[in-house]
Chains A and B, each alone.
Chain A
Amino acid sequence: MNRRRFLTTTTMTATAMSLGLGKAAWAADPLKVAFMYVGPVGDMGWSFQHDQARLAVDAAFGEKVATSYVENVPEGPDAERVLTQMALAGNKLIFATSFGFMDAVMNVAAKFPDVRFEHATGYKRADNVATYDARFYEGRAVQGTIAGSMTKTNKIGYIGSFPIPEVVQGINAAFIHARKVNPNVEMKVVWAYSWFDPAKEADAATALIAEGVDVLMQHTDSTAPQAKAKDAGIISFGQASDMASFGPTPRVSSTIDNWAPYYVERVKAMLDGTWTSQGTWGGIGTGMVEIGVITDAVPADVKAEAEALIASIGAGTYHPFTGPLNKQDGSAWLAEGEVADDGVLSGMNFFVEGITAQMPQ
């Protein structure tokens, strides 16, 4: 609470100073950076992680930057208005942290050529619009390895949010690596059709557990599935945030969205005057995807294998989508040793061979 208050007063002063003094040259005028979130910062998942990174920017640059945010912004015209408000309020760098903000970002960026925009998970860029995304599937590959080794029923459950490429990549990566260590493994998939609906996620977890899965993965943001996994005595993985409070079991590891290094780097580029538009797709190597501590519930040899995988992906010597791989219908996708290219991955709308669940249509 005190920290919140403290931050509030400092930004207010900062705002008042920059507004009150207008264009009068103050050498110490802070760089204003704004963040637009699709959910509440208290969702403990997606928007929470972005806000953690904003706080990291505050901590890294102190008085040289002044950050602010708007939460719960619906995708559509409200997003466009909020972005414009941010630009008009003098923010020079604006992070828009949901795919659905894409067209709004492009529209507003065209009107404010002097303001730089960063759009998460989108695919449209301009001179003043950069995009960034994380290779969450790298984390899934690690989870798949642990899951495949630890399952006794040979059934892994996966709660998906929406059937979009980001989630499909994760399911495929997890399955491929589970199969590598355990040829008998099966993957059960349930789509919640929501990023965040604790009750429905809990039901989805219960449904999967009833189906006999003993490892649970989720690509939705609440901790509800963790609680269900705990009750059922099976293992699970944290998603978006570390969810460490559910360790050492059921949560045996996690995939953390760590936007802090990227945000700090981009703000620094603005301060240095070296900001350019680019598309960043960071992963374990750049620290954007972080693997949470693997707990002692995981046998030492499995842990060692997972850590070796983390190291090779991080070093760039291994790509989770390396051939030979076929699509679900049996048609060839990647030849021996061939690596999936980013274009195909970013539009991925098919399962790989061996997954029995059907892609929703």
Chain B
Amino acid sequence: MTLGGIDLVALAAMLMVASTPILLAAIGELIAEKAGVLNLGVEGMMIMGAIGAFAGAVITGSPAAGFAFGALAGAGMALIFGFLTQVLLSNQVATGLALTLFGLGLSALFGKGFEGVRPPATEKLDFGALADLPVLGPVLFRHDWVVYFSLAMVVAVWLFLHFSRSGLILRAVGENHEAAHALGYRVVAVRMAALAFGGALAGMGGAYLSLVRVPQWTEGMTAGAGWIALAIVVFASWRVERVLLGAYLFGGVTVLQLRLQAAGYAIPVQLLSMAPYVITIIVLVIISARHRHGAQAAPAALGKTFHASR
């Protein structure tokens, strides 16, 4: 299947790999935002995940252990954020920005000595004959486990939010923390858990960058991926199935413009790179207009400080 000289099957496979880090980070941020916390420090958590995973994988020799370290590093960062915003009640926007600054610096310090090192390889899963299926084979059955993990997380988070009691509590906390508190739910504890989960996934997103997609460690290697994850959550209007679509759209535009260049098309790169953000704004406007007099798409308590006065 080709269009304009571009193999669409290869493009789809490439897009899935390129989108996996931002998909993971965006799912994590979605959970945090669903609980009513706006954590702008995704970039900082991702880069800490990248170096945590890299160091872990190099030292233990196991990529899977590396991913676990990455998740822990991301979650640790998220807990710093949680402590400041939930316990010390600091402003979430400013704290998130500070977290990014802190993470970029700390990861670079930890990373001294890991530059130029090659990590153990994360093997692609073997699906046997399935991998040889036309079209579906290359797109669906020739990836490493993290790609499938990220897709499984989309399903798991969807089930969690819609069908579990904990998911209901999480959403209640994000919609109206006063009411949730009055009902006896522990707002701060729920939010800390949501943040830690979000940080762990952001860390795994960073880990995928340093262990699979690139794979190497260098300072500042996330290069803005965390900010894209934030945009995706908005694009998705806080619905996890749309996060998948958003991640593939954002990842897809980058891949597509590089692919078009490789095929010899002259394209206005900067104008094309703007497109997903403009589309996100349009999506946001449409969903906001639709919900104008009803329920808002964004969690109502998003970004607001909670303090239990009673």
Q: Per the CB under 8 Å rule, do A and B touch in the complex?
A: yes
A residues adjacent to B (C-beta < 8 A) = 1, 40, 42-44, 48, 157, 188-194, 196-200, 202-204, 206-208, 210-211, 222-224, 227, 245, 356-361
The interface residues of chain A lying within 8 Å CB-to-CB of B167 are none
Cβ-Cβ contact count across A and B, 8 Å cutoff: 106
B219 CB contact (under 8 Å) in A42, A200, A204:
A42
Q: Interface digits, B206-223 against A, CB 8 Å rule (1 contact, 0 not)? A: 000100011110111111
Please state if B221 and A199 are interface contacts (CB–CB under 8 Å). Answer: yes
Which of B80-88, B92-100, B112-120, B298-306 makes up part of the contact surface?
B112-120
The interface residues of chain A lying within 8 Å CB-to-CB of B282 are none
Chain B: minimal CB distance from A2 (Å): 12
Complex-state Cα separation, A42 to B114, whole angstroms: 9
Please state if A42 and B108 are interface contacts (CB–CB under 8 Å). Answer: yes
Please state if A198 and B221 are interface contacts (CB–CB under 8 Å). Answer: yes
The interface residues of chain A lying within 8 Å CB-to-CB of B270 are 193
With contacts A40-B108, A204-B258 known, is A199 near B223, CB below 8 A? yes
Closest residue of A by beta carbon distance from B220: A40
Chain A: minimal CB distance from B220 (Å): 7
The interface residues of chain B lying within 8 Å CB-to-CB of A358 are 264, 266
The interface residues of chain B lying within 8 Å CB-to-CB of A211 are 259, 262-263
A42-B115, A206-B255, A358-B264 known, 15 other contacts, Cβ within 8 Å: A40-B220, A43-B218, A157-B262, A188-B263, A194-B223, A197-B223, A199-B213, A199-B214, A202-B213, A203-B255, A207-B14, A210-B14, A211-B259, A224-B215, A356-B264
The interface residues of chain B lying within 8 Å CB-to-CB of A193 are 269-270
A–B complex contacts, Cβ < 8 Å, 14 sampled: A40-B108, A44-B218, A190-B262, A191-B269, A197-B223, A198-B221, A200-B254, A207-B14, A207-B255, A222-B218, A224-B214, A224-B216, A245-B118, A358-B264
B214 CB contact (under 8 Å) in A40, A43, A190, A202:
A202
Give the number of residues in B that approach A within 8 Å (Cβ atoms).
Answer: 37
Q: Interface digits, B192-231 against A, CB 8 Å rule (1 contact, 0 not)? A: 0000000000000000010001111011111101000000
Please state if B261 and A189 are interface contacts (CB–CB under 8 Å). Answer: yes
- 9 pairs of A and B residues whose beta carbons are closest in the complex: A358-B266, A207-B258, A198-B214, A40-B219, A207-B262, A211-B262, A190-B261, A207-B259, A42-B115
The interface residues of chain B lying within 8 Å CB-to-CB of A192 are 258
The interface residues of chain B lying within 8 Å CB-to-CB of A1 are 113
Chain B: minimal CB distance from A134 (Å): 22
The interface residues of chain A lying within 8 Å CB-to-CB of B18 are 199, 203, 206
Complex-state Cα separation, A44 to B10, whole angstroms: 30
Complex-state Cα separation, A151 to B262, whole angstroms: 17
With contacts A198-B209, A245-B116 known, is A203 near B258, CB below 8 A? yes
The interface residues of chain A lying within 8 Å CB-to-CB of B52 are none
The interface residues of chain B lying within 8 Å CB-to-CB of A44 are 115-116, 216, 218
With contacts A44-B115, A202-B214 known, is A191 near B225, CB below 8 A? no
- Check: B111 CB closer than 8 A to any chain A CB: yes
Please state if B264 and A222 are interface contacts (CB–CB under 8 Å). Answer: no
Please state if B262 and A188 are interface contacts (CB–CB under 8 Å). Answer: yes
Closest residue of B by beta carbon distance from A194: B223
Residue in B10, B14, B218, B221 with the greatest tally of chain A CB atoms within 10 Å: B218
Please state if A188 and B264 are interface contacts (CB–CB under 8 Å). Answer: yes
Complex-state Cα separation, A40 to B109, whole angstroms: 11
